Amino acid sequence: MDPAFLAPLIPITAIVAFAAVKIARLRATLPGSSSGDVAARLEALERSLEDVQQELAETQERLDFAERLLSKAREDRHIGG
């Protein structure tokens, strides 16, 4: 997959996940919600979000590394060619 295609997906995914957590928190404070169930689901969602954020950070590092390698290869070809 093209690294340039993945770059905009990373912040979009983070924004969506952040919004989901905020919505879950708002719903947890609504009257009539079963607070135990909602709190447990919110904690699970927060853990999941942390995992996604970690994966995004690792993906961004890999993308940066791949871009540096491609850039270096282009420079080497340009200089050598």
Number of domains present in the structure of the chain: 1
Which of 21, 24, 54 is closest to 37 using CA atoms? 24
Residues 66, 71, 76, CA angle at the centre, nearest 5°? 125
- Contact criterion met (CB below 8 Å) for 18 and 49: yes
User: What type of residue sits at position 75?
Assistant: E
Full-model pTM: 0.54
Question: Bigger pLDDT: 8 or 68?
Answer: 68
DSSP state letters, 40-55: HHHHHHHHHHHHHHHH
Domain housing 8: 3-80
What mean pLDDT, rounded, does the chain reach? Answer: 81
* Contact indicator for 27, 38 with CB cutoff of 8 Å: yes
Evaluate if residue 33 carries a pLDDT over 60.
Answer: no
19-30 pLDDT tens trace: 777 777 777 666
